[in-house]
């Protein structure tokens, strides 16, 4: 690995959307990262060079940060359960998977199921049964297991 090659890698890395890059070869290890908080790491990009050295960006699993909010795509009324006396779809502390129904927003007499865009644990429910919900309003926060 020559200095020029390292400089070229740094230049490419800077202009790419990647946040971190780890390169390990025999006798050589390079780690680059951009310092930005609360940024979800973009998935891997595998680039193969003719010399058979694989440049591989490491990717961490989608970094959950405290700001992973489930927002309402609709204007309407929030319901925590599917029936007035029923058990809520989710509760604080519960694990959810991406695509899992977490609540209902009633708009124009139609009950719309709202699903979580993330895997994780419900950390906070910001609204209560019967609340009027505006467009893009935060309903719940999803975090990961390591978060306090």
Partner 1 sequence: MKNKILIANRGEIAVRVIRACKELGIETVAVYSEADETSLHVKLADEAICIGGARSKESYLNMNSVLSAAISTGCNAIHPGYGFLSENAQFVEMVERCNITFIGPSSKTIAAIGDKASARAIAKANGVPIVEGSDGIVENAQEGLKIAKKIGYPVMMKASSGGGGRGISIVRSDEEFLNAFERTSLEAETSFGDKSLYIEKFIESPRHIEIQIMADHKGNVVHLFERDCSMQRRNQKMIEETPSPILNELLRRKIGAAAVKLAKAINYVNAGTMEFLVDPKGNFYFIEMNTRIQVEHPITEMITGVDLVKEQIKVGYGKELSFKQHNLKINGHAIECRINAEHAMKGFIPTPGKITNILFPGGIGVRLDTHIYPGYEIPPFYDSMIAKLIVHAPTRLEAIKKMRVALEQFVVDGIHTNIEYQYLIMHNPDFIKGQYDTGFIARFNALVEAENRE
| Residue 9 in contact with partner 1, rule: CB under 8 A | no
Residue from 77, 82, 100, 115 binding partner 1 (CB under 8 A): 77
Q: Shortest approach of partner 1 to residue 101 CB, angstroms? A: 20
| Residue 117 in contact with partner 1, rule: CB under 8 A | no
| Residue 104 in contact with partner 1, rule: CB under 8 A | no
Residue from 55, 75, 81, 138 binding partner 1 (CB under 8 A): 75
| Residue 74 in contact with partner 1, rule: CB under 8 A | yes
Query: How is residue 44 annotated by DSSP?
Result: P
**Kind of pairing between the strands at 95-96 and 69-71:** unpaired
Q: Shortest approach of partner 1 to residue 121 CB, angstroms? A: 27
Place of tokens 């060079």: 49
* 140 SS3 class: strand
Query: How is residue 16 annotated by DSSP?
Result: S
Measured distance CA(88)–CA(64) in Å, rounded = 24
Measured distance CA(6)–CA(10) in Å, rounded = 6
Which parts of this chain interact with partner 1 (CB under 8 A)? 74-77, 106-109, 132-137
């Amino acid at each position: 690995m020559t200095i020029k090659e390292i400089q070229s890698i740094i230049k490419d890395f800077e202009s790419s959307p990647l946040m971190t890059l780890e390169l390990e070869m025999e006798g050589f290890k390079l780690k680059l990262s951009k310092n930005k908080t609360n940024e979800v790491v973009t998935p891997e990009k595998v680039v193969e060079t003719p010399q058979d050295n694989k440049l591989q960006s490491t990717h961490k699993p989608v970094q959950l940060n405290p700001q992973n909010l489930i927002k309402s795509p609709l204007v309407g009324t929030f319901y925590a359960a599917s029936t007035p006396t029923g058990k809520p779809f989710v509760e604080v502390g519960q694990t959810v998977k991406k695509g899992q129904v977490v609540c209902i927003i009633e708009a124009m007499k139609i009950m719309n199921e709202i699903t979580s865009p993330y895997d994780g644990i419900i950390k906070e429910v910001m609204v209560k049964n019967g609340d009027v919900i505006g467009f893009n309003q935060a309903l719940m926060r999803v975090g990961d297991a390591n978060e306090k």
